[in-house]
Structure 1
Amino acid sequence: MTLAAAPLAQLDAFVIDLNRASAAAILPLFRADHGLEDKGAGKNLPRDSHAAFDPVTEADRGAEAAIRKLIAERYPEHGVIGEEYGEDRPDAEFVWVLDPIDGTRAFISGLPLWTTLIGLRHQGRPVLGSIGQPYTGEIFIGSAAGSRLLSRGSEQAIRVRECPRLTDAIIATTDPDACFDGAERGAWLQVRAAAKLARLGCDAYAYAMVALGKMDMVIEAGLKAWDVEAAIPLIEGAGGIVTDWRGEPIGQDGGQMVISGDRRCLDEALVALRRSAK
């Protein structure tokens, strides 16, 4: 069943409140003493594994706790799935999917490329999502009603741009050496060779740049649900597409993902990516 416009508008406003609560927990610790812990320590993973160094900070945990507290107060019947504190009623009609700091490596390096990802499922389907960057004062929000950017007191509708050819595309991934296996890396390199420009290390901020019409494609692998779900309504609300490496819809478990502003550009990239699809 499609979510009606009135409750969607109320939930949209609530997402802004969640972003503000998260920002209040995170910003005092950015470029400060953030209590770093390595969740990958002791797992005996290869040094080139993406999970070999898996940082988490007091800011990650404090932000997710603040978001969960607000959800519990306002919508106690809703479920929550979060990176730091796990699942609570994941089969509820409404389920929030949270990554309090996507890009913790950027966060601990003092780079303002980390974001807060807040997604909402209704009956198992992503219907509302936001990507917030409080240091730059930006909240990108999207749903079937459209996507927009809130920034320093102003608000504007946002839209992906046309890019019919991969040779004209600006593309991104987080870290091809750490995030892709051998076959995936080969597929990335083939797409990279065709594209006009590639940027690395932007994490989910690159998703927002596709929605804003500044980049054309993001290719990722090994993602969890909280890395993906906030992006789907934002990108689709801006006119873009989110698929797996086969060109099919992303499942609830994450995995391989392609975000594209133009279906024609996506189709060109999928020629290479399908060979390494899982």
Structure 2
Amino acid sequence: MKKILLAGSTGYLGRFILEELLNKGFETRTILRDEKKLPKSTIENSNLEIVRAEITKAQSIENCCRDIDTVISTVGITKQKDGFTYMDVDYQANINLLEEAKRNGVKRFIYISILNGDKLMQLEICKAKEKFVAALKNSGLEYCVIRPNGYFSDMDEFYKMAQKGSVYLFGTGKHKMNPIHGADLAKVCIAAITNDKSEITVGGPEIFTHNEIAAIAFSVTQKKPNITHIPNWITKTLLFLLRTFTSSKVYGPVEFFMTVLSMDMLAPEYGTHSLKEHFETLKTTIH
């Protein structure tokens, strides 16, 4: 059985990957700043080894890859905080991990990026992620870049807006996507440990327009549907103003969100979890 290092285990996807690894009996090492972010039952699993370190600080993760066969990294930021930029985390933190992997003879490195990231290099988040992808491809390690088109957790914003009574969409709302549940994507990531694929694009089993996602959110919240479509010229003007008068820490997440919602984000369908079921679970967590 291969020994796995998982980086990013406290994030949305990382939690599901960690659970899947342990369920399948993999010896797993994970890098954490705060183990309290994991369930007690997970921390006490005999197959889990926790390394307390910060991936953004290269010295703190020295030898983290010793005796590791495969590294899986979900490291990245969607909402910039702690003063870090996309280049600090999505690029440099992963470079720190890659250098340790190379130094310790790791055989395979699995990295979770973004669908169409290589075509959206004008976005700060994609620029950072794809710079790392280029480094990974030139590292000499076996690698797999997994490109999901959006997580169910990203769809939570639709639910929150519907709960407040109004959903705001960019353009006509007719662009399509098939976001994927973290548990389904985790299975794809675990399968990549033993397959020989170097790149995987993947989405969930259901394809929706943005209007349809909003409609599902309204049906679950039992609110009267009220959708406002924001014209493209307003979107472009807002992005221009944000780029001109704010830093990348402010406009980065907004420009990514606006851009991916102004295009189709479709990937091969996979998984079993439905978006409506996900929204149903939010009833008990979002008030």
Aligning the two structures, in what range does the TM-score lie when normalised by the shorter sequence? Answer: under 0.3
Q: Which has the larger radius of gyration?
A: 2
State TM-score, norm by structure 2. 0.27
More helix by share: 2
Q: Larger % of strand: which?
A: 1
> Bigger relative contact order, structure 1 or 2, given CA contacts below 8 A and separation 6+?
2
TM-score, normalising length: structure 1: 0.28
